[in-house]
Amino acid sequence: MVSPDFLVIERIALLQRLRTHAPRFLVLCAPAGYGKSMLAAQLADSPHPRACDCHDVRDELELAARVLRMLSEVEPTQTSALAQTIAMLHDQSRSADERFDLAESAWRSLPSEGVCIIENCEDIADRQALLASLTRLLAQTPDRRTVVLSSRVPLRLTWSRLAQPHEIVTLGADDLRFDEGEIAELAQRARASREHVERIAALSRGWPIGVTMLVGMSRNGTLDGHLPSLETTEFQSLHDYLITQVFKSLNERTMHVLKVSAWVEAANVDDVAAALDVDRAEEAVRSAVQSTPFLQAAAAHVTLHPMAAAALRAATGDERTELIDTIVEGHAKRQRFLRAAQILFGEGKREAAAEMLHRIEIAEADARCPSTTNSSLPSARP
């Protein structure tokens, strides 16, 4: 999604922090829509900086060629020399290692002080050979060059080979969220009301692309008609973005946790366990929280980002009935009748909820009056 100019905000606090620290390596790790590219461009002081894109890279030599093309943009006086090196990467008379050595030498020898951006690193996160080659290049980075690595997933690089700990800065989703001041500044540009500012902050929770979409709607005068609901057609493009760019990379178990959080009011860990038909689900929830910043867990409750929840409800409406039935059955199976009744009542199924509450009375009566056919009693003597 490309934002109009009035929705582009300079990340002053983050930029001051980075320019003061002057790291050799900056790692931006967050899902789509967190403004990783925008921050990298602002750090490079260019609205459209050339970056090495790791998307669909085939092998180590293609990765090296992309890195050198990016470097030629950062260091335009060396364009001709770098073009020759890139051409030599296709020289079949040399071994692959010899050709990669050429790229490594070019990367090391150019005394560039600019910002080099390597984006979509998630596409090589599970490809060990490419990660090893990238590490090999990065280990030769000149001292005064800054490399920005942008990824939607954590990168398993051997950082100790690249730099000292103080030379590496990692910013995650929590760091990249817009703070209250940034949201207020964008809203002021759109002449948004105080009520709109509060609603935008609450619904977006600082997610940059969510903030810019809501601010844009406020400016266009279309926000009032769609609040508090986030499930109208006005948000379809955002829903599609979340499904294709954020949720698509999550595994099935994590998506199950998210769906429970989206469809069950005040969902908790027991709800997730019931949905998964297991006795405990703490580990599943913990793994899901680690997989996406859109999910939070506290005091046994799991909460999904409002925009993410709306997108999931819009995309999985046909799964709702089966999911709720599974959760209710899972609770009943483990004699959590009260929670099952709460969920049924929330679904408007009052008779079913009352029946579930009645099962509590039956269970309590059974506990007070155990069966007289207890097998542990001694048998009568003849």
Q: In what order do the strands lie in the sheet with 115-119?
A: 51-53, 115-119, 146-151, 25-29, 168-171
Query: Omega of the bond prior to 228 within 30 degrees of 0, cis?
Result: yes
Q: What is the mean pLDDT of residues 322-335?
A: 96
Question: Residue 171's beta-bridge partner residues?
Answer: 28
Cβ neighbours for 286, distance < 8 A, ≥ 6 positions apart: 297
- Quickly count: other Cβ atoms within 10 Å of residue 17's Cβ: 14
**Dihedrals φ, ψ of 268, to 5°?**
-135, 180
Check residues 366 and 332 and name the one with the higher pLDDT. 332
Contact 290, 253 (CB under 8 A): no
Cβ neighbours for 23, distance < 8 A, ≥ 6 positions apart: 146, 167, 168, 169
| The length of the chain, given as a count of residues | 382
pLDDT digits (tens, 9 = 90+) for 207-255: 999 998 888 888 877 676 555 567 666 788 888 989 998 898 899 999 9
Q: Nearest-CA neighbor of 145 among 116, 173, 169?
A: 116
Residue 153 DSSP symbol: S
Q: What is the mean pLDDT of residues 303-330?
A: 94
Cβ neighbours for 271, distance < 8 A, ≥ 6 positions apart: 260, 264, 302, 327, 331, 339, 343
pLDDT digits (tens, 9 = 90+) for 142-188: 888 899 999 999 998 888 888 888 999 999 999 999 999 999 998 88
- Residue whose pair of structure tokens reads 């967190």 in the numeric block: 34
